[in-house]
């Protein structure tokens, strides 16, 4: 690719910190993970616990495990998301129920969540999509009225604000991702913010085999190697090597997000006379966008090819392209198991056939942005109906 879809910003301080960990004799979960969690907690205002994990997928899994879901329980979520949001509901033995999203923002619609609530509903997992927040006040009110747990999938939303409040600052469960494509990275990794101390304790158990002490404490000098299995858990702990990267990435979050906002503004300007591709719109309620993704929807009436062919041609011209996301209710497993068909989520399906993401990351240059847009125009010209 001439212009890759993703390029993480790794600078000298991240590299030095990783080398420091490698030379220190302690590379798994240890003091740097503890520091990273503390800094994350303080950044979020200090009222929530921060529990690190080795991916947002793991974070979603153990958050759902805290609900002790039973067969027949339902969890409402969006279809335009990464598979793990939905797969984890299935893996925990519950039934995913889909609410449609807004056609222009791709944020889950509180009005459709309300319609999908039944006596079996236990939780709602909205996705703060592409770096913009969902309509949290509306969704929280629905959860409160109906005694549902709110698990926010904030994989795209490190630094996003909703009506002035940081996403995660007072959440029941709020799960962030540090995958290399995300606004900050730890290689792979994730963080759960959660306001109940009891849930935080359970999350800490579940992320490390369900035993009562994690590796750092067990092997510290002077502490005993004994442990107790409280309940079967998983191996989802973050390494100090990962936290070493995260500690420095975290310091740069505002710089990175500001650069993303600048790049997003440039794209809007460059694309304003290209009606064949329609950017996602920011939500109307007050918010600060973290611009994790810049998503376009192809006007299928304007060109002679479908979205898949269109993005193949962009890729052949050297532009890295992402798909965030094909509707999951129409993927093999969910179609087969639940008999889901086209027509059940009109806005999600409309977008699913048209959307694609173009490069957006702090290292992207203005010249590269111009090249991306020129290439889009070139392919449109070639394929104009």
Ligand X SMILES: Cc1ncc(COP(=O)(O)O)c(C=O)c1O
Residue positions annotated with a catalytic role: 182
CB of 235 to ligand X, least distance (A): 15
Q: Considering beta carbons, is residue 85 or 237 the nearer one to ligand X?
A: 85
Count of residues that interact with ligand X, criterion CB under 6 A = 14
Q: How many residues in the chain?
A: 385
Q: Is 124 in the site for ligand X (CB under 6 A)?
A: no
Residues 6+ apart with CB under 8 A from 167: 128, 133, 136, 152, 154, 157, 160, 161, 174
Minimum distance between the CB of residue 324 and ligand X, rounded to whole angstroms? 7
Q: Is-contact 123 64, C-beta < 8 A?
A: yes
Please report how close the Cβ of residue 304 comes to ligand X at its closest, in angstroms: 31
- Pairing label, strands 49-53, 74-78: unpaired
Q: Is 294 in the site for ligand X (CB under 6 A)?
A: no
Sketch the per residue contact string, 66 through 105, with ligand X: x for CB under 6 A, - otherwise.
Answer: ---------------xx-xx--------------------
**Distant-in-sequence, close-in-space partners of 352: CB < 8 Å, separation ≥ 6:** 79, 80, 325, 326, 327, 330
According to DSSP, residue 302 is labeled T
One residue of 32, 61, 65, 179 binding ligand X per CB under 6 A: 179
* Contact call for residue 240 and ligand X (CB under 6 A): no
* Token code pair at residue 125: 């997992």
Please, how many CA atoms are within 13 Å of residue 155, restricted to the half-sphere of its CB? 25
Question: Does the footprint of ligand X cover residue 351 (CB under 6 A)?
Answer: no
d(CA 224, CA 205): 18
Q: Does 207 bind ligand X (CB under 6 A)?
A: no
For the bound state, the minimum distance from the C-beta of residue 325 to ligand X, rounded and expressed in Å, comes to 7
Measured between alpha carbons, how far is residue 219 from residues 227, 231, 332, 351 in Å?
11, 21, 45, 51
Judged by CB under 6 A, the chain residues 39 through 58 that form the site for ligand X are: 55-57
Site residues (CB under 6 A) for ligand X?
55-57, 81-82, 84-85, 127, 153, 155-156, 177, 179, 190
């Amino acid at each position: 690719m001439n212009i890759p879809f993703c390029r993480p910003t790794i600078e000298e301080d991240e590299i030095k910190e990783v080398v420091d960990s490698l030379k220190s004799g302690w590379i798994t979960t240890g003091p740097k993970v503890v520091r990273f969690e503390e800094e994350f907690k303080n950044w979020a205002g200090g009222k929530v616990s921060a529990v690190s994990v080795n991916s947002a997928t793991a974070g979603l899994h153990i958050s759902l495990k805290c609900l002790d879901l039973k067969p027949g329980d339902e969890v409402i979520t969006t279809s335009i998301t990464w598979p793990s949001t939905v797969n984890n509901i299935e893996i925990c033995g519950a039934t995913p129920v889909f609410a449609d999203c807004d056609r222009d923002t791709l944020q889950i619609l509180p009005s459709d969540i309300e319609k999908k609530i039944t006596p079996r509903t236990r939780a709602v997992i909205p996705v703060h999509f592409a770096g913009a927040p969902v309509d949290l006040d509306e969704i929280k009110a629905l959860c409160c009225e109906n005694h549902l747990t709110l698990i926010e999938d904030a994989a795209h939303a490190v630094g996003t604000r909703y009506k002035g409040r940081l996403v995660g600052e007072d959440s029941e469960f709020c799960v962030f991702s540090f995958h290399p494509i995300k606004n900050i990275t730890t290689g792979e990794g994730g963080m759960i913010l959660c306001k109940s101390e009891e849930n935080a304790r359970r999350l800490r158990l579940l992320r490390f085999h369900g035993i009562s002490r994690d590796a750092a404490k067990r092997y510290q000098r002077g502490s005993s190697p004994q442990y107790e299995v409280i309940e079967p858990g998983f191996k989802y702990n973050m390494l100090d090597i990962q936290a070493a990267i995260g500690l420095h990435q975290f310091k740069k979050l505002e710089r990175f997000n500001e650069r993303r906002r600048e790049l997003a503004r440039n794209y809007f300007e460059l694309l304003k006379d290209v009606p064949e591709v329609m950017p996602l719109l920011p939500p109307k309620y007050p918010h600060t966008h973290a611009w994790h993704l810049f998503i376009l929807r192809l006007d299928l009436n304007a060109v002679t090819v479908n979205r898949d062919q269109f993005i193949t041609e962009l890729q052949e011209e050297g532009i890295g392209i992402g798909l965030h996301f094909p509707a999951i209710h129409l993927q093999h497993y969910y179609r087969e198991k639940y008999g889901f068909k086209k027509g059940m989520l009109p806005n999600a399906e409309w977008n699913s056939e048209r959307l694609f993401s173009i490069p957006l990351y702090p290292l992207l240059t203005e010249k590269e942005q111009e090249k991306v847009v020129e290439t889009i125009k070139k392919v449109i010209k070639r394929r104009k109906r």
